[in-house]
Amino acid sequence: MNEIIEGSGFAKLSGVIKTLGYNKDVDIELATVLAPLPNLRIQIDNMKIELEADDIIIAEHLTDIEREISFSFPVSGGTTSAGSPSHSHGLGNIAASSAKVTVKSPLKAGDRVIVASIKAGQSYVVLDKAVILNGA
Protein backbone atom coordinates (compact mmCIF):
# COMPACT_ATOMS: atom_id res chain seq x y z
CA MET A 1 0.00 0.00 0.00
CA ASN A 2 2.23 2.77 -1.29
CA GLU A 3 -0.47 5.27 -2.17
CA ILE A 4 -1.43 8.09 0.19
CA ILE A 5 -5.08 8.11 1.25
CA GLU A 6 -6.48 11.58 1.81
CA GLY A 7 -9.70 12.98 3.24
CA SER A 8 -11.74 12.59 6.39
CA GLY A 9 -11.32 9.70 8.81
CA PHE A 10 -14.17 7.86 7.12
CA ALA A 11 -12.68 8.45 3.66
CA LYS A 12 -9.34 7.14 4.88
CA LEU A 13 -10.94 4.02 6.40
CA SER A 14 -12.90 3.41 3.22
CA GLY A 15 -9.71 3.83 1.17
CA VAL A 16 -7.79 1.36 3.32
CA ILE A 17 -10.59 -1.21 3.03
CA LYS A 18 -10.66 -0.78 -0.75
CA THR A 19 -6.88 -1.04 -1.01
CA LEU A 20 -6.32 -3.99 1.31
CA GLY A 21 -9.40 -6.09 1.04
CA TYR A 22 -11.89 -4.61 -1.34
CA ASN A 23 -14.99 -6.73 -1.86
CA LYS A 24 -16.86 -5.46 -4.89
CA ASP A 25 -20.16 -6.68 -3.47
CA VAL A 26 -20.02 -4.63 -0.23
CA ASP A 27 -19.63 -0.88 0.34
CA ILE A 28 -19.50 0.78 3.75
CA GLU A 29 -21.42 4.04 3.96
CA LEU A 30 -22.61 6.55 6.53
CA ALA A 31 -26.28 7.45 6.98
CA THR A 32 -28.47 9.62 9.18
CA VAL A 33 -31.40 8.27 11.18
CA LEU A 34 -34.50 10.21 10.16
CA ALA A 35 -36.93 8.31 12.42
CA PRO A 36 -36.11 5.81 15.18
CA LEU A 37 -37.52 2.31 15.63
CA PRO A 38 -40.08 0.85 15.20
CA ASN A 39 -40.61 2.89 12.01
CA LEU A 40 -36.92 3.28 11.23
CA ARG A 41 -36.03 5.54 8.32
CA ILE A 42 -32.49 6.42 7.27
CA GLN A 43 -30.89 8.61 4.62
CA ILE A 44 -27.60 7.32 3.24
CA ASP A 45 -25.13 10.10 2.47
CA ASN A 46 -25.23 11.11 -1.20
CA MET A 47 -28.50 9.21 -1.82
CA LYS A 48 -31.70 11.08 -2.57
CA ILE A 49 -34.17 8.42 -1.43
CA GLU A 50 -34.96 7.51 2.16
CA LEU A 51 -34.80 3.88 3.22
CA GLU A 52 -37.61 2.59 5.41
CA ALA A 53 -37.66 -0.27 7.92
CA ASP A 54 -38.78 -2.75 5.22
CA ASP A 55 -35.69 -1.88 3.14
CA ILE A 56 -33.18 -2.31 5.96
CA ILE A 57 -31.60 -5.14 7.92
CA ILE A 58 -30.48 -3.92 11.35
CA ALA A 59 -28.01 -5.38 13.84
CA GLU A 60 -29.82 -6.83 16.87
CA HIS A 61 -27.92 -4.70 19.41
CA LEU A 62 -29.50 -1.59 17.85
CA THR A 63 -33.05 -2.80 18.51
CA ASP A 64 -35.08 -3.03 21.72
CA ILE A 65 -33.78 -6.24 23.30
CA GLU A 66 -35.37 -8.12 26.18
CA ARG A 67 -32.78 -10.00 28.21
CA GLU A 68 -32.95 -12.10 31.34
CA ILE A 69 -30.23 -11.17 33.78
CA SER A 70 -29.08 -13.03 36.87
CA PHE A 71 -27.39 -11.37 39.78
CA SER A 72 -26.27 -12.21 43.28
CA PHE A 73 -25.40 -10.08 46.25
CA PRO A 74 -24.12 -10.69 49.77
CA VAL A 75 -26.61 -10.61 52.62
CA SER A 76 -25.16 -9.27 55.87
CA GLY A 77 -26.33 -9.37 59.44
CA GLY A 78 -29.02 -11.58 60.86
CA THR A 79 -30.71 -11.78 64.24
CA THR A 80 -29.43 -12.43 67.74
CA SER A 81 -30.74 -15.21 69.99
CA ALA A 82 -33.15 -12.65 71.50
CA GLY A 83 -34.64 -11.99 68.07
CA SER A 84 -33.28 -8.46 67.68
CA PRO A 85 -31.14 -7.56 64.67
CA SER A 86 -27.45 -8.16 65.13
CA HIS A 87 -25.01 -5.40 64.31
CA SER A 88 -22.43 -7.64 62.75
CA HIS A 89 -21.36 -6.38 59.37
CA GLY A 90 -19.89 -9.68 58.25
CA LEU A 91 -21.13 -11.26 55.06
CA GLY A 92 -23.71 -13.94 55.50
CA ASN A 93 -25.43 -15.86 52.76
CA ILE A 94 -25.45 -14.93 49.11
CA ALA A 95 -28.86 -14.08 47.69
CA ALA A 96 -29.46 -14.75 44.02
CA SER A 97 -32.19 -13.50 41.78
CA SER A 98 -33.03 -12.92 38.15
CA ALA A 99 -35.10 -10.41 36.24
CA LYS A 100 -36.07 -9.57 32.70
CA VAL A 101 -34.96 -6.18 31.46
CA THR A 102 -35.51 -4.41 28.19
CA VAL A 103 -32.58 -2.50 26.75
CA LYS A 104 -34.02 0.20 24.50
CA SER A 105 -32.60 0.96 21.08
CA PRO A 106 -29.92 3.64 21.24
CA LEU A 107 -30.98 5.10 17.88
CA LYS A 108 -32.59 8.53 17.78
CA ALA A 109 -33.46 10.89 14.94
CA GLY A 110 -30.29 12.70 13.86
CA ASP A 111 -27.92 9.89 14.87
CA ARG A 112 -25.30 8.75 12.38
CA VAL A 113 -25.06 5.04 11.55
CA ILE A 114 -22.64 2.81 9.66
CA VAL A 115 -24.36 0.97 6.82
CA ALA A 116 -23.14 -1.87 4.59
CA SER A 117 -24.54 -1.66 1.08
CA ILE A 118 -24.57 -5.15 -0.41
CA LYS A 119 -24.60 -6.06 -4.12
CA ALA A 120 -24.79 -2.54 -5.50
CA GLY A 121 -27.54 -1.40 -3.17
CA GLN A 122 -29.80 -4.44 -3.31
CA SER A 123 -29.59 -4.79 0.50
CA TYR A 124 -28.67 -2.39 3.27
CA VAL A 125 -27.46 -3.48 6.72
CA VAL A 126 -27.22 -1.01 9.60
CA LEU A 127 -24.13 -2.27 11.44
CA ASP A 128 -23.70 0.20 14.29
CA LYS A 129 -24.14 3.71 15.54
CA ALA A 130 -21.32 6.03 14.43
CA VAL A 131 -19.73 8.14 17.16
CA ILE A 132 -17.20 10.91 16.70
CA LEU A 133 -14.85 11.23 19.66
CA ASN A 134 -13.95 14.68 20.92
CA GLY A 135 -10.53 15.79 19.74
CA ALA A 136 -10.32 13.07 17.08
- What CATH number did the domain enclosing 118 receive? 2.40.50.140
pLDDT of the residue at 1: 42
Listing DSSP states for 10-75 in one string gives HHHHHHHHHHHH--TTEEEEEEEEEE-TTS-EEEETT-SSPEEGGGEEE-GGGS-EEEEEEEEEEE
Do 40 and 28 share a structural domain? yes
pLDDT of the residue at 19: 62
Count: domains in the chain: 2
The boundaries of the domain holding residue 50 are 9-63+106-130
43 within a domain of the structure (yes/no): yes
Do 79 and 113 share a structural domain? no
**pLDDT per residue over 42-100, tens digit each?**
999 989 989 999 999 999 999 999 999 998 888 775 554 555 554 545 555 788 889 99
Do 126 and 88 share a structural domain? no
pLDDT of the residue at 6: 63
**pTM greater than the 0.85 cutoff:** no
